[in-house]
Amino acid sequence: MNTKITFLGKEFANSIVTASGILGVTGATMVNNVKEKGVGGVTMKSVSVEPREGHPNPTITTGEHFMINAVGLSNAGVENSVKEIKYYKENCQAPLIASVFAGDIKEFGEVTKKISEASPDFIEVNISCPNVEDEFGKPFAADPQLATAVTKIVKENTDIKVIVKLSPNVENIGKIAQAVEAAGADAICAVNTFNGTLIDVRTREFVLHNKFGGVSGPAIKPMAVKAVYDISQAVKIPIIGTGGVTTGQDVLEMMLAGATLVGVGSGVHFGGGKDVFKNMMGEIKEIMEEEGIEDLMEMIGGVKSDD
């Protein structure tokens, strides 16, 4: 039975990667995710040129079936993040996906150039964070032309393979996917979180300090799977599918919809904490055995359809 995955020419021990913003602040945490928790690869928290403190707390909370966050893209800045990536690379072989964001097109080029010095295996471009609209306006992922422009400048500033992370808060995610594919993106990650909010009844206050945030967790899985399927029908480049994945079965479902790799974020909380990835892999192997699946790669885009 083979559970290894080849994604853009690099080998992952399995199809699960941590999603950006989850256990990805320090190099040591990401090493821990691989060595102690058994994840196939890691995505670092998004990095900007300068350090950012993000929003005050509450930045992350959960309901029974969802998580909502407005961390506000806090990060230590690209210079410090290069050191964290270097620490990771010295201590771990599993592929690392760096994640970058910026407030304008030019800065996307700058942060990409600087993060490339750390030689991450891939660079994910976060054009879809919903939690900084007050500061930056609508995410770049909401507009095919802006998404194209960001993808182009990122590609011009690095030789590393580029993954563009898309927002589900758009009318036609397939069209945005086609735009970034045409602009040179090597892969797509989808989806980022859904716009949402949470109001406390007793105090009549918004719970998140930022008022609005991004919704993730089991509640969004059906919408995320549909978005991944729509993208897979629209483009030829590989997809990292993410959104509400909590179990091994969810991982396989996301792969059938078209994902080569599957990102897990709030699933770390909903799926049982530190053993979540091991549990998922156990379940995946069990299903593979029961269904006679020899190679996990077979699952990619394997949903049956007459179309």
Partner 1 sequence: MKNNSQQPTILPIKKIVQETPAIKTYTFEHKLGAEPGQFVMLWIPRVDQKPISISRQTDSSFDLSVFKVGKATEALFDMKEGDKVGISGPYGRGFNIEPKKNIVLVGGGCGSAPLRMLGEEAEKAGCKVTFITGAQTSKDVLFKDALSDTCITTDDGSAGFKGFTTQKLAEILTENKDTDKVYTCGPEVMMKGVVDVCAKHKISCEISMERYMKCGFGICGQCAVDPLGICICKAGPVFSGEMAAKITEFGQYHRDKAGVKHEL
Q: Which residues of this chain interact with partner 1, rule CB under 8 A?
A: 21-33, 36, 45, 51-54, 56-65, 67, 71, 74-77, 80, 198, 200, 202-203, 205, 207, 209, 265-266, 268-270, 273-274
Coil, helix or strand for 264? strand
Q: Which is nearer to partner 1, 14 or 20 (CB)?
A: 20
Coil, helix or strand for 84? helix
Q: Which is nearer to partner 1, 135 or 286 (CB)?
A: 135
For 136-158, b/e burial (b = at least 16 CB within 10 A) is eeebbbbbbebbbbbbbbbbebb
Quote the least distance from Cβ 245 to partner 1, whole Å: 14
Q: Which is nearer to partner 1, 226 or 269 (CB)?
A: 269
Identify each DSSP E strand in the chain by its residue range: 5-7, 10-12, 16-18, 42-43, 60-62, 67-69, 96-100, 122-126, 161-165, 187-190, 194-197, 199-200, 205-206, 212-216, 239-242, 261-264
Q: Which entry of 23, 100, 129, 188 is annotated as an active-site residue?
A: 129
Quote the least distance from Cβ 160 to partner 1, whole Å: 22
Nearest one of 168, 178, 158 to 224, comparing CA atoms:
168
Structure tokens at 282: 């156990």
Quote the least distance from Cβ 228 to partner 1, whole Å: 22
Nearest one of 121, 132, 192 to 162, comparing CA atoms:
121
Quote the least distance from Cβ 67 to partner 1, whole Å: 8
> What is the Cα Rg of the chain in Å?
18
Q: Which is nearer to partner 1, 13 or 297 (CB)?
A: 13
The answer to whether 92 is a known catalytic residue is: no
Quote the least distance from Cβ 99 to partner 1, whole Å: 13
CA distance 44 to 189: 14
Q: Which is nearer to partner 1, 43 or 148 (CB)?
A: 43
The DSSP bridge pattern shows strands 194-197 and 212-216 to be antiparallel
Nearest one of 76, 161, 154, 78 to 120, comparing CA atoms:
161
Active site residues: 129
